[in-house]
Amino acid sequence: MPVLSGDVVSVGYDEDQSALEVEFVGGTVRLYLDVPQSVFEGLVVTQDAGANVALYFETRVIQGGYRYLEI
């Protein structure tokens, strides 16, 4: 899903792996592990509402302390 906010370009979610894939400006892609689907859905709702996706991402994903892999 394309996201137009902050450094985040797009996000996707793999239900089987509980993994949130995030593409950043510049092409870096991170796969955040063990992320509840509700966090991804919150990103979608935030984007659809025109709210601050960067703030949501910072507070729910970054500060949530999820492990990630750069791929």
Coil/strand/helix, residue 63: coil
Encoded amino acid at 31, one letter? L
pLDDT recorded at residue 5: 61
Compute the distance between CA of residue 49 and CA of residue 53 in angstroms, rounded to an integer.
10
Please give the DSSP secondary-structure letter assigned to residue 43. H
What is the pLDDT of the chain when averaged over all its residues? 89
Q: In percent, how much of the chain has pLDDT > 70?
A: 92
Residue 39 near residue 61, CB atoms below 8 Å: yes
